[in-house]
Chain A
Amino acid sequence: MSRSLTPVNRVGVDERAAALGRRSIKTTAKREGIRLATSMIDLTTLEGSDTPGKVRHLCAKAVCPDSSRPEIPSVAAVCVYPALVEVAAAALRGSGVAVASVATGFPAGQTSLKVKLDETREAVAAGAAEIDMVISRDAYLRGDDARVAGEIEAVKEACGAAHLKVIIETAELPTYAHVRHASELAIAAGADWIKTSTGKSTSGATPGVVLVMLETVRDHAHRTGEIVGVKAAGGVSNTKAALHQLVLVKETLGDEWLTPERFRIGASSLLNDLLMQYAKLDGGHYGRAEDFSKE
């Protein structure tokens, strides 16, 4: 099986992505950026040690990240393992915060299609409005694009009304050309969102990778008029990195993509750093980690 890859200029991408991270964003713009980034977070907990209690705490924080600052919005969604979707859905009912669930044998995706579909249906039935699936990297790296696309289509169907985010796990793809190709493949197969990483691999949403995916989405939108969302996940753990992502989005896709309906940041520790930076803007003193709840 052969595939043709659109070449991507790695040096050019890295340079542009880095250049867009050098902007000085201060005071009023920083305040707005922090609020916007907060509203785009998929607050995530994907640990073997997750318990219903921990997820409930996380949900409370997702709805009201900082009770002393009502101007800070709720996050976009809470992302959990399928077994905890029911708990999260109950905790978030009526809050406007969505429940997202990883599925399809996350993070490796090394299970059969039947198991993947069952897991997806279960998560949707339990109340997940968004499903984060992983592509079969083994099939993709072998060149079996048809199987990758077929799985995405099948999972999309199993999702029903739920939105499907397709994780291409860029850390396991050799080049930006593959990132672009895998993104196009996922979009063609029906992905509502494309997502960089599981957060369980060696690297995550590096600015270069996100730029390539944003450009793929932009080109697709120009060609077809269809809107695909992008979720940057993995490694976006501080305010500076989050604001960098927002600049990438604005400069690649424009203001209309700067909304939680079209761009998300998957993160766990980012929220506290955003809150700490916001508090610094208010109080003038640098904060410390103990001042913010872990969940």
Chain B
Amino acid sequence: MSSRAAVAKTYKLYLGGAFVRSESGRTDPIGGVNVPRGSRKDIRDAVKAARGAAGGWAKKTAYNRGQVLYRFAEALESRSDGSDEYGEAIDLLVHYAGWTDKLAAVMGGVNPVAAPFLSFSSPEPTGVVAVLAPDRPDVLGLIREIAPALAAGNAVVAVVSRTSPLRALDLGEVAGVSDIPAGVLNLISGRLDELLTPLCGHRDVNAIIDATSDDAVAAQVDELAAETVKRVSRPTPYTDSLTRLEPLVELKTAWHPVGS
């Protein structure tokens, strides 16, 4: 019989590659555990970290980003409880790891133009993407939204499940050991009514993935996004990959003169 006392885990936000308590010092007890209650300052810090990391992540080769995402899947495998949910989340990461170097071929290409020009389009990451994860499923629901955003080369600030945030916050520990650069993925727990306005109204956020399927939230998100000019997507669990990826990139088209 062991007589040692178990060490209880302190759940923390994953912000700029570090595990931190909420700047506000607040916590909410959820299921007998104190979970950090993120504040608008945490959001601001997270967006700043994401913006700082976005350039470097976007500059990595697509091949390299794919490897990093694959590594994320490997690390998650070792955390898996063997359930279908984890299995599907891991498979999704592998799936999007494969997407990284195919985006340009699928979305971009040479455009036929009626003039002596070579016109071609290539997708570029949109920048910093805010993710409002669904409450359930807590792990799969989060991975389903962050994986395409990361695969497209964006930095992510995600508000994790409000009702069961613990396993989602654990994903920070997975990301922390998986070669994802610090700041590229930021996970914040807390109350949506406090976090929504500072996150979706932040002018340095370029796109929002609203997976809450909550009409009241949707109305607020749309208004904030319109005020600060950003794209909103509302994928369902059945939305296909390409439709998920499309709002997370900007197409750059270049015209190059060609001689006869």
Partner-B contacts on A (CB < 8 A): 284-289, 291
Contact = CB atoms under 8 A, between A and B. Distances in A.
B201 A288 contact: no
13 contacts: A284-B201, A285-B201, A285-B202, A285-B203, A285-B224, A286-B198, A286-B201, A286-B202, A286-B203, A287-B203, A288-B51, A288-B202, A291-B203
B238 to A, nearest CB: 33
Contacts of B227: 285
Interface centre among A284, A286, A288, A289 (most CB of B within 10 A): A286
A286 B44 CA distance: 8
Given A285-B203, A288-B202, A291-B203, 19 more contacts: A284-B197, A284-B201, A285-B201, A285-B202, A285-B224, A285-B227, A285-B228, A286-B44, A286-B47, A286-B198, A286-B201, A286-B202, A286-B203, A286-B204, A287-B204, A288-B51, A288-B203, A288-B204, A289-B204
**Residue of B197, B202, B203, B224 most packed against chain A (CB within 10 A):** B203
Contacts of A287: 203-204
Contacts of A286: 44, 47, 198, 201-204
A174 B256 CA distance: 59
Interface string B202-232: 1110000000000000000000100110000
| Closest 7 pairs (CB-CB, A-B) | A288-B204, A285-B201, A286-B202, A288-B203, A287-B203, A285-B203, A285-B228
Contacts of A288: 51, 202-204
Contacts of B228: 285
B138 to A, nearest CB: 28
A285 B223 CA distance: 12
B194 to A, nearest CB: 14
A288 B204 CA distance: 5
Interface of B: 44, 47, 51, 197-198, 201-204, 224, 227-228
A187 B51 CA distance: 44
A24 to B, nearest CB: 12
Nearest to A286: B202
Contacts of B197: 284
Contacts of B224: 285
A285 B227 CA distance: 9
A272 to B, nearest CB: 13
A291 B204 CA distance: 10
Contacts of B203: 285-288, 291
A291 B203 CA distance: 9
Chain B CB within 10 Å, residue with most, of A284, A288, A289: A288
B47 to A, nearest CB: 7
B41 to A, nearest CB: 10
A279 to B, nearest CB: 9
A250 B224 CA distance: 39
B145 to A, nearest CB: 22
Contacts of A285: 201-203, 224, 227-228
A227 to B, nearest CB: 39
A291 B224 CA distance: 17
Contacts of B47: 286
A291 B202 CA distance: 12
B58 to A, nearest CB: 16
Nearest to B47: A286
A26 to B, nearest CB: 12
Nearest to B224: A285
Contacts of B198: 286
B202 to A, nearest CB: 4
B149 to A, nearest CB: 18
A37 B187 CA distance: 35
A10 to B, nearest CB: 28
Nearest to B40: A286
A289 B204 CA distance: 8
A290 to B, nearest CB: 8
A285 B228 CA distance: 8
A159 B222 CA distance: 60
B126 to A, nearest CB: 14
Contacts of A291: 203
